[in-house]
Structure 1
């Protein structure tokens, strides 16, 4: 008799906490399983760590409607292409690397409104093109969506989002990006190696820091930063296509770190004279012997400067 491609789960359940069900164990699924259907397990609320890790032939998963927790590495290194979260409204935790190394092309979590955190590496190395997140999200962990194929990313509906971690969207195909007003921090290399052409963060009025290498290696031509910004980190905008940069109205900007705008075709720059700490090479060699306009805090031109022997000198 040919083995079924479905998994019989009847022997894998344990009663806990007033008949609430938990699917537990480690690597208990067969390698040849292609479909996992949990729809009929009405009381199942948790899938344990490593439960289906390494089921490389698993393509389709149907989750139980009452599922609340999917723990670390639960479906890591499978071949999942189909997983629908549309009716999953009780889910409040997806553990670290729970769905890493799969083949998702579309991911819609917008109805999972109890979900507050996207943990580290959760959807690392998939093939996601379209992504939708719920308004309830507060934090997206490190590398959560690294190595995917996202083309447009609109997080403007995520009105509670405070933190985007390191490398979250590194190495995607993002051309258009919208972030919510609520964002407080964007981690290092968060949007590195994408294809962003225009970047307007002017609505992100609570954002104070652009971290190291955040937008390194994109195609940014037009850049608008929020007036709240205090610091631009190392290599933050390296390898883009910025020709004109106007920072003359950013009264809160105190520090532009080394090489922040290296490898851009910069031709014209306006900088507020009140910036009190600037590394000598923050534009590296790109602007040596080129003119830079400095402005005082009232917006009046303070003088024309250029780099001579690594020092800004008035001319």
Structure 2
């Protein structure tokens, strides 16, 4: 029992001591390799089978007890305590080979695992390198960093580069730039340039290096178009000239031929022969041309002179046949047109190449003058050239006075022209009158009528007596010829003397010569039955009393040349109702129309500024005129009714008539417009209360204009005053002061020399 006990105790003790034996742990530092769990419960001096770790890119070389890898630890090494063992490694080398399809030679490389590797950059003409890929399909890109733990075959990926061709067409049509890849087949465009032929594309602006590549090079290109100008022909065709041909480049200035053709005007150059399409180019276009020069005949003026005057003027084209009516010339035969007035060179009636004056050539014709003596002595007829002078033959008839030659057998139309051969056969008839009718005088080979024997009713004054022109009717030639009812005076008469028809109280009609310039004094005085008078166009003066007492005169037609109507010229023309005086009239003298009881309508021109006293006294116009200032034309004719203290003459008035304000007992002041230039005789005479009047532009102051204006204290005479009548200030106050702006005081004193009543003169 005791033995067993001790055996049990021994076993127990063995077990106890056995369970208390040391155990150790082996820890693994893989130094970058895979992690390993430690090996535990390793008995002392026990060896273990060590694991083999893994590390990418490395080869395991064994375990070591130190980091310096000097003491190896193997499967046979006895464990004597806890320990950490260290894995030792060797880095693997790996190979990279390159597939690159380029001009660059890239050798395979061997690189330690994990070492930074540099990406080789291959070069391939015309391509851009995209990168390296792990597969042939270039889908898995390889990124260069550290060397992986494997051998590699890398494939280069390329992107073709786009190259641009820019076209400089040098004047050709615009071409857009084109994009090509390297070695693409090139199809270059052909530009177009008007007037030029394309010679190819060049790589330089100087066009010295032609581009001949068929495929696209590995660069951008600028290509320059080369051109050769096309030589175009221009043919100039002008009528009358041989055609000429010139050659030009497009745009080159055209030198147009100078062409000239006598008698023609060059119309211009045209594309067509008809001249409908003008050639208006100055430089050569891109085509051959045929150009037509067209001429147009010039027009020239042909002036036809006939007897020193232009007969006609024609404007005709060169070489045109002249067609003109032959002129007519009295007494001549037309001989043709000549280049000179002397008729030495005849004009051929073809229009020359210049303006020309040609002259009518004439030959005088011969005509006869045949005398019909009408029982007078025979005279010889005359034949001579037209316009030749001839002398009247002398014929006689017993008991008769030869009155002259007449143009008609009835002896109504005397031949009063100069004795020159006319352009026809002239028949002249002798007129005879008994020798006891006409009383006349011969003065300077002309007849002056002084009377008539007999008591005719109608008296026709002959124009010729004894082949001498009747030019005058002397004064009182037909005084008191009461038998006369009508008188006809021929145009040969140029003067009728004073009172030639005075007191012909049965004279009803008078036809005056158109060539008299004056109705003399009392010419028709007392012709109480004369009812109308047409004054000839040349009449300038109607003398004093010319129509005085023409009781039945109703109508007067005045001459447009009339200047003056004399005193009493139409006085007592009781039936005269209206007069229309001509614009030429300037002066109407005293009592010219006095006692024309029915005269109511008076048309007076503004030019008349002189009316003498009583011109229209006792006329209906005056009698029926309302009270106040009476104006006639531009004149103050007078005043009717009671004159106020002050009178203002209306603007525009030119003058104040004679006696206009005579003896106006109430008038004290007068306002005168600047237009007033004339103050007539006695116009303010006897205006004893007149104190004030100023005028600035008066040219004429009439005689006694201010006579007996005893209250007139001062007056100013402007320097424009040029005429002053007799004693205009007679009877004025001795204290009257006359102011003046006269430059020449002596001249004013001379004009006022007879005004003895003026005692004081102050001159400014």
Task: Note if 1:17 corresponds to 2:444.
Answer: yes
Q: Which residue of 2 aligns with 1:296?
A: none
Aligned equivalent of 1:117: 541
Please give the TM-score of this superposition, normalised by the length of structure 2.
0.27
1:207-226 to structure 2, matched below 5 A, reads 207=635, 210=637
Partner of 1:93: 518
Q: How far does the alpha carbon of each residue in 1:215-243 deviate from its partner, in whole angstroms, 9 at most, with x for none? A: 889xxxxx9795223466256799xxxxx
Find the counterpart in structure 2 of residue 36 from structure 1: 459
Q: CA deviation at 1:175?
A: 0.7
Go from structure 1 to structure 2 and tell me whether the alpha carbon gap of 1:133 and 1:181 turns closer, same or farther (over 3 Å shift).
same
Match of 1:63 among 464, 482, 489: 489
- 1:183 maps to 2:614: no
Contact 2:671 2:693 in 1 (8 A): no
Distance 1:274 1:49, change over 3 A: closer
1:51 aligns with 2:484: no
Residues in 2 aligned to 1:8 and 1:146: alpha-carbon distance in whole angstroms:
40
State how many pairs are aligned.
234
1:201 equivalent in structure 2:
632
Distance 1:141 1:176 in 2: 20
| Partner SS for 1:24 | strand
Relative to structure 1, the CA distance from residue 215 to residue 29 in structure 2 (aligned partners, 3 Å threshold; closer, same or farther) is: farther
Find 1:83's aligned residue among 505, 510, 514: 510
Question: How big is the shift at 1:60?
Answer: 1.1
Q: Distance in 1 between matches of 2:549 and 2:684?
A: 33
Distance (Å, rounded) in 1 between the aligned partners of 2:510 and 2:522: 16
Q: Give the whole-Å Cα distance in 2 for the aligned partners of 1:226 and 1:256.
A: 20
Q: Specify every segment of 5 or more residues in structure 1 that has no aligned partner in the other structure, as ranges.
A: 1-6, 218-222, 239-246, 260-272, 281-315
| Shift in Å, 1:114 | 2.2
CA 134–275 in structure 1, closer or farther in 2 if over 3 Å, else same: same
Q: Which residue of 2 aligns with 1:174?
A: 599
Contact 1:54 1:78 in 2 (8 A): yes
Q: Give the CA deviation at 1:84.
A: 2.5
Q: In the TM superposition, what whole-angstrom CA distance separates every residue of 1:17-38 from its partner, at most 9, and x where no partner exists?
A: 23x221125xx544x4322122
Shift of 1:39: 5.0
CA displacement at 1:257 relative to structure 2: 4.7
1:201 positional shift: 2.9
Scaled by the length of structure 1, the TM-score of the pair is 0.62
Distance 1:195 1:135, change over 3 A: same
Distance in 1 separating the partners of 2:508 and 2:663? 34
Cα shift at 1:94: 2.7
8 Å contact kept, 1:216–1:236: no
Give how far 1:130 is off: 1.0
Which residue pairs with 1:292 in the alignment? none
The 2-side partners of 1:11 and 1:131 are apart by 31
Task: Tell me the alpha carbon deviations over residues 5-28 of structure 1, each in whole angstroms, 9 at most, x when there is no partner.
Answer: xx987542333223x221125xx5
For the residues of structure 1 that align with 2:663 and 2:508, how far apart are their CA atoms?
34
Contact 2:671 2:694 in 1 (8 A): no
Query: Are the counterparts in 2 of residues 200 and 225 from structure 1 also a CA contact under 8 Å?
Result: no
The equivalent of 1:136 in structure 2 is: 561
**Structure 1's 249 and 72: CA in aligned 2 closer, same or farther, altered over 3 A?**
closer
Residues 75-130 of structure 1, C-alpha deviation per residue, up to 9 Å, x if partnerless? 11112111123xx3211233211110002111111xx2322211111111003111
Deviations 1:264-312 (A, max 9, x none): xxxxxxxxx75697989xxxxxxxxxxxxxxxxxxxxxxxxxxxxxxxx
RMSD: 3.7
- Residues 663 and 686 in structure 2, CA contact (< 8 A), matched pair in contact too: no
CA contact (8 A) 2:604 2:632 kept: yes
**1:131 shift after superposition:** 1.1
Work out which of the two has the higher radius of gyration on C-alpha atoms and give 1 or 2.
Answer: 2
Partners of 1:146 and 1:225 in 2: CA distance: 32
Query: What secondary structure does 1:153 align onto?
Result: strand
Contact 2:672 2:694 in 1 (8 A): no
Deviations 1:160-203 (A, max 9, x none): 2111111110111211111112213111101100001466534x
Change (3 A) 1:106 1:232: same
Q: Which residue of 2 aligns with 1:220?
A: none
CA distance in 1, matches of 2:518, 2:586: 18
TM-superposed deviation, 1:57: 2.3
CA contact under 8 A between 2:586 and 2:609: conserved in structure 1? yes
